[in-house]
Structure 1
Amino acid sequence: MATLPDPDIIGAVARAHAHAPFLHMILAREPALAAALERGVLPPLAAVAIDDAAMPVARRLRLERRRLALLVAIGDLAGVLDLTAVTGALSTFADRALDTAIRTAMLERTPDAAPRGFVAIALGKQGSHELNYSSDIDPILLFDPATLPCRGKEEPQEAAVRIAKRVVELLQARDGDGYVLRVDLRLRPSPEATPAALPVDAAIGYYESQALPWERAAFIRARAAAGDIALGQRFLETIRPFVWRRALDFGAIGEIRGISRRIRDHHAQGQAFGPGFDLKRGRGGIREVEFFAQIHQLIHGGRDPGLRAPATRDALAALAAGGWIDPANAAALSDSYAVLRTIEHRVQMIDDRQTHHLPTGEALDNVARLHGLGQGADLLDLLRPHIGSTARIYDAIEPDEGDGLSHDRARLTGQLASAGFADTTSAVQRIEQWRAGSYPALRSPAALAALEAVLPGLIDALGTSPDPHAAMLRLDAMLSRLPSAINFLRLLEARPALARLLGAILSHAAPLADALGQRAALLDGLIDATALDAVGSVAQLAVEMTNDVGDYQAQLDHVRKIVGEKRFALGTQIVAGAADPLDVSAGYARVAEAAIEVLAQATIAEFAAKHGRVAGSELVVLALGRMGGGALTHASDLDLIYLFTGDFAAESDGEKPLGAVLYYNRLAQRLTAALSVATAAGPLYEVDTRLRPSGTQGPLSVSLDGFARYQRESAWSWEHMALTRARPVFGAPAARAATIAVIDAVLAGDRPARDIVADATTMRADMAAHKPPAGPLDAKMLPGGLVDLEFAVHVVQLVHRTGFDANLGRAIDGLIAAGLAPAALRPAYDLLGRLLVTLRLVAPDAQEPGPVTQALIARAVGLADWPETLAAFERTRQEVLQYWHQIGGGNGT
């Protein structure tokens, strides 16, 4: 069936004859294609292929490129091929031509060897399948010395360079038929000092250790395009972690922005929109759409692999779908990109010139008419809204440069006073110390330049924080401990809102400020707001903490790293007012439980490698106290008991066997060390094992049978009180169930008869004498605080043998339902819990903080202001004391 003529194609051919000398020339030289087009039929793009083995490869490729340029241009002008189809066809041809040139160059030298060991990595528009009519290609040529075919006594490096030169010659040489592709090899590492083709391992080493930020950013669009594709994919997979970094590298972002600014300055004549405008580099042009997408990909792509789309419009769509950019902005930029690239193609197809400028005068009218418009003014009207929206959207991500912070002391003092600093003298001194490079992190020129760039915004952030002086002192302490400050400062420059949150953290939360001093990378989670999300379930956290490296020490470091990130994030949620402190408290506990799970598994495997395992036996970790109740604070230690199931007289089966008792005691020591001993990645938790049977006098680990016997026959009232919050946090389901059964039986009455009320009263009095309240806000130790509430609840539970739940809130609910506690006890527990979690972070000394921190605390506990918070605290303590006295306690408080 004959293809019907398409009038749009006929019209496109007419416009090509009239307004595009290059296309007019091809139409004359390709009569068969021209005849089809003039009938209104667009031949398939495959028709460009020339099946003539006798024709020299270079000439065949030049003719094929010429034919493709004609068919794609007419299809483009007719609207039959959209932008994706146009750029895809041009890019696919570039891949094929480059691959053909590589194979030809290799077979010319070693005809009997398979052409392998040499690959072209496509960067830029070829890498993203977005080539335009007159694009250069920017490959990096790599070779594998072990597999590259060489001539006799020829070094692989010499062979690779000769292959590279021949490839460039085949593609770039011109004759009467034109050329195939312009090739630019300057994106390879250190092009001024390196050969045209590099050994793959040397290239990997460069990108892992020496690459500049913009060089890594270039690999957003990298692709193994021609030659030994498997070799290229191995290279790209190896360097992927150094391109897409989980720890955000704002050096790359700053470098891209710097490139944008330099382009605007260098091409100033093409910035003003109108005739002569630079469609690629001009303000609001193609490059700014690309940079907008790449900047956001660099920020978020390390953590979200779905954003690593090479093509610009695909990247914008992924960023919008992921919630990283405004969908309306993404749509506007995508539309702009399509229009700008289309008009760029019109400009280039007129004379096959590598140009991006709109012409002026009659030449602009000619471009407009080629596109199907009446005159140049119509073309400008088409472009104007897209240029304007792109410029506006791109400008919004540029940090305000503003006026720099003065080096003149008098003017600097005035600037600081205006920013909100009361003690300007101290602030001036600190800034002068930083500028003098008094700390190692600030001694390099690059660090000082980064400092100057960020100081205006940083001072504004600190000046509006609750306590500017305290915030500056903590920032000073951070800078004094940082090994390098460049990335940290660039990060703040790139995200002014982060600087404001940092000011709040430094002002309110000394533990978080100290953590930042050790690991500035903790701020990464704040950039993409993941720090303000819930930390996930224990199972999810355990997966995140598991390191598949296989090295035990690496596993310890990895767990410490993740725990540090999660604890910092949870603390930040309180400072930012993003979460209920009770939810944060539960999050702290889930993080700790996941750490126990992962480290216990790793420690057991490490220990078993030498000592084997005890048949029919396993370790159980029992948590008590706040850990048992799943409600930790930032400063909580872990109250743990180590148990083991099975026969205590058994022996392990390893190379160095141990009896079960000795086996599990040593294993428990190892696990305690894994949880508490600091490594290069920092500390983890303090572990308290004094609640085990017989306390510090007893073995670190006991059999489950021994534990049950001790609890039934010998344990004291305080140990049974502690048992009310006991919860297995490690062990197989059957072992956990057996442990819970023992605890349930003891709590239900299988224990010595004791005067629980009298014992608890004596114990509380001893505690009050030996551990008085730390200050007027000690929500735990003050009379009527959490300790009194816990004592009262545990006494009632044990006396009435009901309401048992390791989670204290649910336990209180059970007692209220049973008529054994007043309804006010639950809100009392919630208030005291919120206060404890918040104060441990922002007022760990339990002293009354400054006014702005008071406001933070009031907000955290859900009250209007500080006076209402103090009144609620006092009222709650009285309610707890009343309950404590009501059940017969209170002599000690």
Structure 2
Amino acid sequence: MLSFDSIPARFHPVLQRQLELWQDRTSEDQQQRLNDWAATHPDAAQQLARLWVTSDYAAKIALDQTDPFLLWLGSEPYAQTLTQVEMAGQLALRLAEHNLDITSDGFEADDKAFDRQLRCFRRDMMLRILWRDFCRLADMTETTRDMSHLAEVTIQAAMAYHHHQLQGRFGIPMGKYSNTPQPMVVLGMGKLGGFELNVSSDIDLIFTYPESGETQPGDTGAKRSISNQEYFIKLGQKVINSLDSVTGDGFVFRVDMRLRPYGQSGALVLNFDAMEEYYQTQGREWERYAMIKARVVSGEVMPGGEQAGEQLMDLLRPFTYRRYLDFSAIDSMRDMKTLINREVQRKGISTDVKLGAGGIREIEFIVQVFQMIRGGKDVRLRERQVLLLLPLLEEEGFLPEGAAAELSDAYIFLRNTEHGIQGYQDKQTQSLPVDEPDQERLAWLMGYDSFEIFHEDLADFRVRVNAHFQDVIAEPEDSKQSDDDFAEWEPLWPKQSGPEDVLPDLEHYTSQLQEKGVVEPQQVAEILLELLSSRALQTMQVDGRTRLDALMPRLLALLSELQEPAETLRRILVLVEAVVRRTAYLLLLVENPDALRQLVRLCGSSSWIADQLAQHPALLDELLDPRSLYSPPDKNALRDELRQQVLRVSWDDLEGQMETLRYFRMAHGLRVAASEVTDVLPLMKVSDYLTWLAEVILEHVLNLAWQQMVERHGRPQPVDGQPEPDFVVVGYGKLGGIELGHGSDLDLVFIHDASAKGYSDGERSIDNQTFFTRLGQKMIHILNTQTISGKLYEVDMRLRPSGNSGLLVSSLTAFEKYQRNEAWTWEHQALTRARVVAGGERLTAEFEALRNDLLQQERDETSLKQDVVEMREKMRAHLGTKGSEEKKAEQFHLKQDAGGIVDIEFLVQYAVLAWSVKAPELCRWSDNIRILETLQQVGLLADEEASQLIEAYKAYRSAGHRLALQRLPGVVGGEEFQAERESVKQIWNRYLGG
């Protein structure tokens, strides 16, 4: 007999009652069998006593189906963990024993017998799952996983059985266009999709199939043909009936089909085209939320089902996950939670551990809001299980330190509580019991001596969960305050309800703005009226217009603080009109006052920044955290950040890699521009940052192209004992000189050192020269291709040997031969700015040694001087200011006019080529500033000369950067920089004459 030893005294009456019922309903033989089992399994007997105390449902199974229970007990299933495959195998054996296995020769169709065996199987599995859960032999995740597997194997079995039956009557459903057999694909939604089913959960399903058409008899012997739609509706109905109907043996799972398109009013089954049309045209936010968990749970039981399932998920993914950062998810989640809260209050179910404040649903919302916002860009966030996502969210900085552990502990506690509530009587409820005995039973199951102590811990968990929920989703307090702050500005933004509304009079509108202290009131009024009358606003959806109406008073309040608000407003409204159909970005600015403040500040400072944001609104995400916006990383940090981002995209997903790289470049380009216009970074640091950014991107592009080439052709092989072939990317010009600006091109040269006689070792082997040529072509494709996010960089390859007529990729030997025998002086000038920016270390060292040797050649200074001066005069005539002397005096081209940037660059290049033979230190650097400093250190330039050139160079470049950020040409008034220009001219004349 079962022992009372492990049962607290307060529960002895419960166990005693169960044992008395056992005695009344069983024979002496059955009682003896239980006693014998208990004697030989003392530990398990204590566990059975615990189960009978904590689960009336488990005790009732034993009482109502005694012989099956005793047989089950003897096989010791409670000691087993089962995989889905093992569970499916046990169900198949059970069906085979009753001639219900459709694959066996003795198969006999009997729907009632089939349904009964499903229910008996569910009974045995539920006993095992509850035993292991309530006796703490399994953790919470095993329980939810087992429940999910149980649902899947029963769905799949019902699908296979009824599909077999229907084929015999109607034939095989065939695709109208493909003429291939059509499977029915079942989507598991909610907790089933996330492997998180509770112990008395319903299952949310959606039925669909790929293609319309009709059934065809084939070898089935079918007498009548029907449409695929009709066939799959019949199949769906039969599957639901087998799972959901309550018989004398109970049920398998309650089936809920309300999440299908159009809900209960929609067809039970739709084909893929109809599914796609529905979600593209009518899908709502809560359906996106539901689709996060969606997973194919059946389909492969029919031919082609597995591939159809993949096709379906690919079709649904764009609806579920936006390509941009979707901050409207916060608003949607908040609305959903508000509705739930109202329902909780209306029904008085605040004790519900799922829906109540701080309950399971709030943890799910915390996770899923980040999935909806960022899942389109970060594939890792498409994980369906809460406990796997929480650590990732903290790791990425979306949750504060310690929040993942806190929420995980709360989730496990709440789910175990939920199981304790439901497993008592196999009822789908999440409300705490109200009767004291049931409260004490639940507390003991959860490991507590009293319900009061349990309830204190439960309340503590819920308070902490709700606090995190409020931080993430609930409307922030500062936004409530801002509503009051901006209330006085609301009358200045007319909230139109339709195109028939009359716009305010310009004069009156100007007067209103002027009274509020807005500078340039008439210009601001004109811009706002232009927006109000625009077609973009007239055609906005109601939700979008509501968001714009919330944004504009906030924007006007911030603009009122500016001295020149009109131009800033004009720039920002370009962005507003760009996102008129993606108004989640407007919500981002409403929800984040700091981001709106940064937007006003940066757009007021730079039209380039405003244009970037308008063209790529996803960059608004960068405004959310001023710490990262104005704290540029160093090169190692950039490299690490890029590595983390591209880890989320597989190597063979070239499009995904290219988009990730483009966003990375744009985001950091915005950061450096923001740091520059706000004087956080000086000029030299700006150039460093932009150059490092290009370098880490080139490193990754080279690795990406290499991986794809090796995958296709194998690795290039050495010959005659030579080292492994290597490849480097050489940066010239601004990249080589560590002087990149915003929007600079990349001047590149590709070099390898492989023998032309070698071949790659893959199945599609090619010679080494072809391998490296294609490698270079692939790199240019990745960098230069126009995608939805634009080009990564413009690439200029004209500095390679022989220019555009030369090979795209040269061997180091060919490069050396060309430089020694054919290169022009201007090509050696360009070499002074060359350096390896990506590639192998060995070849990098060899290139640097060759560069130094080439630059240190002894040259005839007279001839060199003549070549340099002639080239400079050609450039000045072609690119400098043209026209009369009066016109030339009115403006100064920072780069090309006399005394400008190029004069300084040519002076430096001449010095390196002329004097490196006696001062090799000049070859060490590729940037002008450090070369000038070296010239000063070795005594080849006077201190005053070097200082004048350095200061002039910095001043010119700084002015050029500022103009570029305003989208203006690099030209200033003729009265500017006169002292700098004069000093540069004097030094030019001193060294290069006339």
- TM-score w.r.t. the length of structure 1 is 0.73
- Quote how far apart the aligned CAs of 1:125 are: 0.3
2:689 to 584, 587, 604: 584
Is 1:347 the counterpart of 2:421? The answer is yes
- Quote how far apart the aligned CAs of 1:289 are: 0.2
Aligned residues of 1:171 and 1:179 also touching (Cα < 8 A): yes
RMSD: 5.9
Q: Residue 358 of structure 1 aligns with which residue?
A: 432
Q: Residue 260 of structure 1 aligns with which residue?
A: 337
Letter in 2 for 1:471: T
- Quote how far apart the aligned CAs of 1:634 are: 0.9
Aligned residues of 2:658 and 2:782 also touching (Cα < 8 A): no
Q: Aligned ranges for residues 440-589 of structure 1 at < 5 Å?
A: 440=537, 443-455=540-552, 470-482=567-579, 484-493=581-590, 495-523=592-620, 536=639, 563=662, 566-567=665-666, 569-576=668-675, 580-587=685-692, 589=694
Q: Aligned ranges for residues 283-322 of structure 1 at < 5 Å?
A: 283-322=357-396
Q: Which moved more, 1:166-175 or 1:5-14?
A: 5-14
- Quote how far apart the aligned CAs of 1:143 are: 2.4
Question: Structure 1, residues 286-310: CA drift from partner, whole Å, max 9, x if none?
Answer: 1110010111223333333333321
Q: Aligned ranges for residues 239-250 of structure 1 at < 5 Å?
A: 239-240=316-317, 242-250=319-327
Q: Residue 799 of structure 1 aligns with which residue?
A: 914
Letter in 2 for 1:142: T
- Seen in structure 2, the aligned counterparts of structure 1 residues 360 and 471 have a Cα distance that, compared at 3 Å, is farther
Aligned residues of 1:280 and 1:356 also touching (Cα < 8 A): yes
Question: Structure 1, residues 687-720: CA drift from partner, whole Å, max 9, x if none?
Answer: 8899999xxxx9964699999899979957x675
Aligned residues of 1:643 and 1:701 also touching (Cα < 8 A): no
Residue identity (%): 25
- Quote how far apart the aligned CAs of 1:458 are: 5.4
Letter in 2 for 1:395: Q
Aligned residues of 1:816 and 1:822 also touching (Cα < 8 A): yes
Q: Aligned ranges for residues 655-666 of structure 1 at < 5 Å?
A: none
Q: Aligned ranges for residues 672-751 of structure 1 at < 5 Å?
A: 701=805, 721-725=829-833, 747-749=855-857
Q: Residue 157 of structure 2 aligns with which residue?
A: 100
- Seen in structure 2, the aligned counterparts of structure 1 residues 627 and 371 have a Cα distance that, compared at 3 Å, is closer
2:142 to 55, 79, 85: 85
- Seen in structure 2, the aligned counterparts of structure 1 residues 440 and 707 have a Cα distance that, compared at 3 Å, is farther
Q: Aligned ranges for residues 610-689 of structure 1 at < 5 Å?
A: 624-636=732-744
- Quote how far apart the aligned CAs of 1:159 are: 0.8
Aligned residues of 1:5 and 1:41 also touching (Cα < 8 A): no
- Quote how far apart the aligned CAs of 1:132 are: 1.3
Is 1:393 the counterpart of 2:460? The answer is no
Aligned residues of 2:257 and 2:264 also touching (Cα < 8 A): no
Q: Which moved more, 1:64-73 or 1:743-752?
A: 743-752
1:5 to 43, 49, 62: 43
Letter in 1 for 2:689: V
- Quote how far apart the aligned CAs of 1:365 are: 3.4
1:123 to 170, 173, 189: 189
Please list every run of 5 or more consecutive structure 1 residues that lacks an aligned counterpart in the other structure: 602-619, 646-667, 850-872
- Seen in structure 2, the aligned counterparts of structure 1 residues 765 and 886 have a Cα distance that, compared at 3 Å, is closer
- Quote how far apart the aligned CAs of 1:736 are: 11
Query: In structure 2, how many angstroms separate the alpha carbons of the residues matched to 1:169 and 1:678?
Result: 53
| DSSP-derived class of the 1:283 partner | coil
Question: Structure 1, residues 755-807: CA drift from partner, whole Å, max 9, x if none?
Answer: 65688689879989944999999986799875454243223212213523544
Question: Structure 1, residues 659-691: CA drift from partner, whole Å, max 9, x if none?
Answer: xxxxxxxxx9xx999999989866787888999
Aligned residues of 1:103 and 1:227 also touching (Cα < 8 A): no
Query: In structure 1, how many angstroms separate the alpha carbons of the residues matched to 2:562 and 2:435?
Result: 56
- Seen in structure 2, the aligned counterparts of structure 1 residues 506 and 365 have a Cα distance that, compared at 3 Å, is same
Letter in 2 for 1:278: D
Q: Residue 66 of structure 2 aligns with which residue?
A: 31
| DSSP-derived class of the 2:78 partner | coil
Query: In structure 1, how many angstroms separate the alpha carbons of the residues matched to 2:581 and 2:657?
Result: 22
Query: In structure 2, how many angstroms separate the alpha carbons of the residues matched to 1:519 and 1:777?
Result: 34
1:75 to 123, 132, 138: 132
Letter in 2 for 1:835: S
Q: Residue 114 of structure 2 aligns with which residue?
A: 57
Query: In structure 2, how many angstroms separate the alpha carbons of the residues matched to 1:774 and 1:283?
Result: 74
- Quote how far apart the aligned CAs of 1:94 are: 0.9
Q: Aligned ranges for residues 778-797 of structure 1 at < 5 Å?
A: 786-787=901-902, 789-797=904-912
- Quote how far apart the aligned CAs of 1:385 are: 0.8
Q: Which moved more, 1:227-236 or 1:824-833?
A: 824-833
Aligned residues of 2:568 and 2:600 also touching (Cα < 8 A): yes
- TM-score w.r.t. the length of structure 2 is 0.66
Q: Which moved more, 1:406-415 or 1:205-214?
A: 406-415
- Seen in structure 2, the aligned counterparts of structure 1 residues 810 and 336 have a Cα distance that, compared at 3 Å, is same
Letter in 1 for 2:428: Q
Q: Residue 885 of structure 1 aligns with which residue?
A: 987
| DSSP-derived class of the 2:833 partner | coil
Query: In structure 1, how many angstroms separate the alpha carbons of the residues matched to 2:256 and 2:628?
Result: 40
Q: Aligned ranges for residues 821-836 of structure 1 at < 5 Å?
A: 835=958
Query: In structure 1, how many angstroms separate the alpha carbons of the residues matched to 2:70 and 2:469?
Result: 46
- Seen in structure 2, the aligned counterparts of structure 1 residues 628 and 576 have a Cα distance that, compared at 3 Å, is closer
Q: Residue 409 of structure 1 aligns with which residue?
A: 491
Query: In structure 2, how many angstroms separate the alpha carbons of the residues matched to 1:342 and 1:644?
Result: 62
Q: Which moved more, 1:460-469 or 1:227-236?
A: 460-469
2:243 to 162, 168, 171: 171
Aligned residues of 1:347 and 1:367 also touching (Cα < 8 A): no
Letter in 1 for 2:987: H
- Seen in structure 2, the aligned counterparts of structure 1 residues 379 and 692 have a Cα distance that, compared at 3 Å, is closer
Question: Structure 1, residues 164-217: CA drift from partner, whole Å, max 9, x if none?
Answer: 001111111112332111111222233356421222454356556764444334
Please list every run of 5 or more consecutive structure 2 residues that lacks an aligned counterpart in the other structure: 1-38, 100-111, 173-180, 495-508, 707-727, 754-775, 882-886
Query: In structure 2, how many angstroms separate the alpha carbons of the residues matched to 1:565 and 1:94?
Result: 43
- Seen in structure 2, the aligned counterparts of structure 1 residues 467 and 282 have a Cα distance that, compared at 3 Å, is farther
Aligned residues of 1:416 and 1:424 also touching (Cα < 8 A): yes
| DSSP-derived class of the 1:140 partner | strand
Q: Residue 868 of structure 1 aligns with which residue?
A: none
- Seen in structure 2, the aligned counterparts of structure 1 residues 267 and 426 have a Cα distance that, compared at 3 Å, is farther
- Quote how far apart the aligned CAs of 1:394 are: 0.8
Letter in 2 for 1:302: G
Query: In structure 1, how many angstroms separate the alpha carbons of the residues matched to 2:77 and 2:372?
Result: 41
Q: Residue 867 of structure 1 aligns with which residue?
A: none
Q: Residue 236 of structure 1 aligns with which residue?
A: 313
| DSSP-derived class of the 1:267 partner | helix
